[in-house]
Amino acid sequence: MDSIQIKGGRTLTGETRIQGSKNATLPILASTILIPGISVITHCPRISDVETMVRLLSSIGCSIEWNADELVIDATDVREYRLPREDVVRMRSSIMLMGAMLGRMGETALDYPGGCVIGKRPIDLHLMALRRLGAVVEETEQKIHAKASRLIGTAVRLPINSVGATENCILGAVLAEGVTILSNAAMEPEITALCEFLQSAGASIEGAGTSQITILGVPQLHSTVYEIPGDRIVAGTYLFAGVICGGKITLRDIPVSHMSATIRTARRLHGDVRITGNIMEIERRGKIEGIPLIRTGNYPGFPTDMQSALMVACAVASGKSVIEETIFENRYRIARELCRMGAAIEIQDGKAYIDGDASLHGTQVIAEELRGGAALVLAGLAADQVTNVMNRHFIERGYENICKDLRELGADISYR
């Protein structure tokens, strides 16, 4: 079966380590195409999105091998510019390969990666940035074909600070001729990680993590070794598990500096969060309390990827809460499943209105995407009786082993 079974209603005790960040790993893997040599990526999460990216890199000529959580990529002989449809459409981050392939090979052809249930996920800003750098991008109904003998550095301004478009522009600019000044850039920690990786390979980049990034094109990059930072969303998911279920848990390898808004929100819910270095202790004694209004936002705001987990916490917290999702147009989807478990949630005028104090009861629920699926697991932990979360493959896109991790924290949970 493609499901996860949870026997809920237990407080949590125990400790677990946090995997490497999916959203740092994917653009970094794409950027290894720019290096005519070996890239060694350590603390790499073994998740299905990474396996998809590995297949895409192999399809253009990279040779890749795993050694435990270390990925060794040799991009010396990249030669094929056409990307295979089945993997491109499986994962939106395949679009990240455009900037790297244009920078290294001068050509790329791929299908539109497509959207998902949380939103249309357009790529107009990616194509705008690469065209600004001099790429000739032809679009047909299904496909994109882009060419550039050499990309040329220039000023690029993003109308919205898209994470992916920021990353694609950086990847196109790193080997371009001249200077690229990218303004209104996204400031997420994953951008900083990508720039750190590229700088370790000889790229000249300033301003990573700010809204203005300056890239001076260099003739060539060289082999490098890089450790992926902890996944701030996986860490946030387990932090919220502790806040929702009560008890006392410890999380290790936490990227604390990337999690201020998430930690602040857990404390607003009256979770007791104690930090020592990269170790986080979460203890929740009494009831948790709802939050009158909280909006998701670009970094360093409250992450949209944590919004579904927050909805579960507010459903069981005392009092009313209102959540406003500002990044994706369709990201309240788990509300319907939570209501089937006994929550009281209404979506109106782009906001989720949550009456707290729900006593969730176990049932079968359907995951439709990654973070909503993980949030349904949290709901199962809080619910009495048994919850079966169907379509666990969505969760496995971003969580290496959510059952092992939560079992280490004291949950009664297993794959079915």
CA–CA gap between residue 182 and residue 4 (Å, rounded): 43
Q: Which residues pair with 272 in a beta bridge?
A: 283
Among 93, 108, 180, 307, binds ligand EPZ (CB under 6 A): 93
Among 23, 39, 48, 308, binds ligand EPZ (CB under 6 A): 23
Beta carbons within 10 angstroms of residue 19's beta carbon: 25
Judged by CB under 6 A, does residue 162 bind ligand EPZ?
Answer: yes
Task: Kindly state the smallest distance separating residue 161's Cβ from ligand EPZ, in Å.
Answer: 7
List strand residue ranges (DSSP E) for 175-223, in order. 179-183, 204-206, 212-216
By CB under 6 A, what part of segment 332-361 binds ligand EPZ? none
Q: Binding pattern to ligand EPZ, positions 284-323, x when CB under 6 A?
A: --------------------xx------------------
By CB under 6 A, what part of segment 184-203 binds ligand EPZ? 186, 190
In Å, how far are 16, 128, 246, 298 from 259, measured between CA atoms?
A: 17, 31, 20, 13
Question: Which amino acid is present at 205?
Answer: I
In Å, how far are 44, 263, 350, 401, 415 from 246, measured between CA atoms?
A: 30, 16, 31, 22, 23
End-to-end CA distance of the chain: 5
Nearer to ligand EPZ, 137 or 279 (CB): 137
C-beta of residue 37 within 8 angstroms of C-beta of residue 244 = no
DSSP assignments along 215-258, one per residue: EE--S----EEEEPPB-HHHHHHHHHHHHHH-EEEEEES--GGG
Task: Kindly state the smallest distance separating residue 130's Cβ from ligand EPZ, in Å.
Answer: 11
Nearer to ligand EPZ, 248 or 371 (CB): 371
By CB under 6 A, what part of segment 379-408 binds ligand EPZ? 398
Question: Which amino acid is present at 295?
Answer: R
122 alpha carbon, distance to own chain's centre: 17
Q: At what angle do helices 370-382 and 232-245 cross, to 10 degrees?
A: 20
Nearer to ligand EPZ, 61 or 115 (CB): 115
The tokens for 416 are 């079915």
In Å, how far are 275, 291, 369, 370, 397 from 301, measured between CA atoms?
A: 20, 15, 22, 20, 24
Judged by CB under 6 A, does residue 19 bind ligand EPZ?
Answer: no
Task: Kindly state the smallest distance separating residue 23's Cβ from ligand EPZ, in Å.
Answer: 3
The tokens for 95 are 């679009």
Number of residues that bind ligand EPZ (CB under 6 A): 26
Q: Which residues pair with 182 in a beta bridge?
A: 156, 213
By CB under 6 A, what part of segment 105-124 binds ligand EPZ? 119, 121-124
Task: Kindly state the smallest distance separating residue 309's Cβ from ligand EPZ, in Å.
Answer: 11
Judged by CB under 6 A, does residue 370 bind ligand EPZ?
Answer: yes
Judged by CB under 6 A, does residue 18 bind ligand EPZ?
Answer: no
The tokens for 261 are 């808004």
Nearer to ligand EPZ, 36 or 301 (CB): 301
Task: Kindly state the smallest distance separating residue 167's Cβ from ligand EPZ, in Å.
Answer: 7
382 alpha carbon, distance to own chain's centre: 24
Judged by CB under 6 A, does residue 133 bind ligand EPZ?
Answer: no
Candidate ranges 18-26, 176-184, 340-348, 356-364; the one touching ligand EPZ (CB under 6 A): 18-26
Q: Binding pattern to ligand EPZ, positions 53-92, x when CB under 6 A?
A: ---------------------------------------x
CA–CA gap between residue 395 and residue 400 (Å, rounded): 9
C-beta of residue 11 within 8 angstroms of C-beta of residue 249 = no
Among 26, 156, 383, 402, binds ligand EPZ (CB under 6 A): 26
Judged by CB under 6 A, does residue 126 bind ligand EPZ?
Answer: yes
Nearer to ligand EPZ, 122 or 350 (CB): 122
Task: Kindly state the smallest distance separating residue 222's Cβ from ligand EPZ, in Å.
Answer: 26
By CB under 6 A, what part of segment 226-285 binds ligand EPZ? none
Q: Is position 403 annotated as part of the catalytic site?
A: no
Of the candidates 44, 116, 169, 339, the residue annotated as catalytic is 116
The tokens for 386 are 């048994």
H or E stretch including 274?
Answer: strand 272-276
Nearer to ligand EPZ, 167 or 337 (CB): 167
Task: Kindly state the smallest distance separating residue 359's Cβ from ligand EPZ, in Å.
Answer: 29
Name the residues that contact ligand EPZ, by CB under 6 A.
Answer: 22-23, 26, 92-93, 119, 121-126, 160, 162-165, 186, 190, 304-305, 327-328, 370-371, 398
Active site residues: 116
